[in-house]
């Protein structure tokens, strides 16, 4: 089978939302008011920390599709004051976040055990925290979220080829800058991470057979698979990868912005930043080239995210291995596109209604497991009764 990016059509049921006159769709969907509706109309579960599990009304897959978002929209009204990355969570918040993610991944891999039949993955993102100020429709959500998705492999095999020039695929646009122009120094910098569960693997090893993606991203195999996800050590190492990425990002774009050579104030590995990055001529050469392009090309400048924006994934490949990867986040690219899957959403209420009962049944079971593990309480709404979300007796701590 030919490896190629795929375009998947996903039906959705149009939302009955009235957008205020003079307000763009993007502005409304990212407003605190709409986030309130998100919780009330599609919310499944919420924790004491305000982590919200919700059904994706306009999602990526009808097989399995849900998200956790750190919903601070009602408690922190200043969008720029909201946490957007794991490193901005408190220790207790991060602990709950990791346990929720592990619990959902555990369920997904349990009900989809065959890697040849289903692609299973979750992807975390700093949700548009650094959208350029001069970009139309600046989002106000600015909150971290984790997205859990499953695709039938047959659906991907039958999907048509996506446009390889789509700027949101991982090998297009300036968000592939680190790997395209600074691959050697980037990989060498990430070698400072002391990892025992996450084993670095080559680009060729990490690609999905069906799409040929990810392309050029640093990747690590999870030694021990699912059982390792159940340990705190895995999540500590998952954090280390993010911290290394953040140091590289801040150092590079700081140099682009000011030409001032220095270790960023927020830095996890200052010695390596000084010795591996700031004393590397290629690092300075590429920073200079980007700086000149920003000055001379207004379209390029409009796309730059000056502060760290990322997407970090855990996915299962066709060999059944769990792989971790991380990418710069371009404006508009989706988690699926890092794996070579472009989603085309089509309004089709009939098709969505047909798939919805099976989808909700899985999401309700996820809720029961989270509630049983003391990871949240169900959210009542007019679409499903609370008892459908409650933990069953067979999973209660009493028994």
* Cα 307 to Cα 73, 85, 169, 242, distances in angstroms: 21, 12, 21, 14
3-state secondary structure of 227: helix
Rounded Cα–Cα distance for residues 380 and 124 (Å): 26
Residues in the chain: 399
Written as tens digits, the pLDDT of the chain (399 aa) is 678 999 999 999 887 777 788 877 666 766 666 677 677 778 899 999 999 999 988 889 999 999 999 988 888 887 778 888 899 999 999 999 999 999 999 999 999 999 999 999 999 887 555 565 556 555 556 788 899 999 999 999 999 999 888 877 764 445 567 777 788 898 889 988 989 999 999 888 999 999 999 988 889 999 999 999 999 999 999 999 999 999 999 999 999 999 999 999 989 999 999 999 999 999 999 999 999 999 999 888 877 888 888 889 999 999 999 999 998 876 566 789 889 999 999 999 999 999 999 999 999 999 999 999 999 999 877 666 665 666 544 333 333
Distance CA 230, CA 224 (A): 10
The answer to whether the beta carbons of residues 59 and 360 sit under 8 Å apart is no
What integer pLDDT is reported at residue 178 of this predicted model? 77
Q: What are the angstrom distances between the C-alpha of 164 and each of 204, 241, 296, 300, 337?
A: 18, 28, 27, 20, 11
User: Do 13 and 353 form a contact (C-beta atoms < 8 A)?
Assistant: yes
Confidence (pLDDT) at 171: 47
In the chain, where the domains are located = 6-395
Take residue 134 and report the two structure tokens written for it: 């001069």
> Distance of alpha carbon 125 from its chain centroid, rounded?
4
With beta carbons less than 8 A apart as the criterion, state whether 379 and 45 touch. yes
Q: Which residues pair with 65 in a beta bridge?
A: 149
Can you give the pLDDT at residue 144?
86
What's the token pair of residue 182?
């600074």
Omega into 325 within 30° of 0, i.e. cis?
no
What backbone phi and psi angles, to 5 degrees, belong to 12? -140, 160
Which three-class secondary structure state does DSSP give residue 337?
A: helix
Dist. CA 233–CA 282, nearest whole Å: 34
pTM (2 d.p.)? 0.91
Closest CA to 49 of 76, 29, 77: 76
């Amino acid at each position: 089978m030919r490896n190629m990016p795929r375009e998947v059509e996903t039906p959705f049921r149009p939302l009955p939302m009235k957008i205020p006159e003079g307000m763009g769709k993007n502005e409304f969907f990212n407003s605190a008011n709409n986030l309130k509706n998100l919780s009330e109309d599609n919310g499944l579960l919420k924790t004491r920390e305000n982590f919200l599990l919700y059904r994706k009304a306009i999602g990526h897959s009808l097989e399995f599709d849900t998200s956790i978002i750190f919903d601070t929209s009602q408690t922190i009204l200043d969008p720029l004051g909201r946490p957007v990355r794991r490193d901005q969570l408190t220790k207790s918040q991060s602990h709950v976040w990791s346990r929720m993610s592990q619990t959902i991944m555990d369920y997904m891999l349990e009900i989809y055990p065959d890697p040849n039949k289903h692609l299973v993955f979750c992807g975390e993102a700093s949700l548009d925290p650094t959208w350029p100020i001069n970009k139309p429709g600046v989002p106000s959500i600015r909150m971290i979220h984790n997205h859990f998705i499953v695709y039938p492999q047959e659906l991907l095999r039958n999907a048509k080829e996506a446009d390889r020039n789509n700027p949101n695929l991982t090998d297009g646009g300036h968000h592939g800058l680190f790997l395209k122009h600074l691959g050697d120094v980037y990989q060498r910098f990430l070698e400072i991470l002391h990892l025992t569960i996450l084993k670095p693997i080559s680009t060729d090893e990490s690609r999905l057979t069906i799409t040929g993606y990810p392309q050029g991203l640093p990747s690590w195999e999870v030694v021990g698979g699912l059982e390792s996800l159940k340990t705190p050590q895995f999540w500590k190492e998952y954090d280390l990868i993010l911290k290394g990425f953040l140091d590289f990002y801040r150092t590079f774009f700081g140099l682009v912005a000011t030409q001032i050579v220095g270790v960023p104030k927020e830095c996890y590995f200052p010695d390596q930043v000084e010795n591996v990055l700031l004393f590397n001529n290629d690092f300075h050469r590429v920073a200079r080239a980007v700086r000149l392009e920003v000055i001379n090309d207004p379209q390029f400048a409009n796309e730059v995210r000056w502060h760290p924006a990322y997407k970090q994934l855990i996915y299962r490949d066709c060999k059944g291995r769990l792989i971790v990867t991380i990418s710069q986040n371009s404006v508009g690219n989706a988690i699926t596109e890092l794996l070579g899957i472009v989603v085309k959403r089509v309004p089709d209420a009939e098709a969505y209604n047909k798939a919805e009962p099976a989808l909700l049944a899985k999401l309700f079971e996820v809720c029961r497991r989270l509630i049983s593990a003391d990871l949240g309480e169900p959210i009542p709404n007019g679409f499903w009764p609370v008892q459908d979300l409650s933990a069953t007796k067979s999973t209660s701590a009493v028994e």
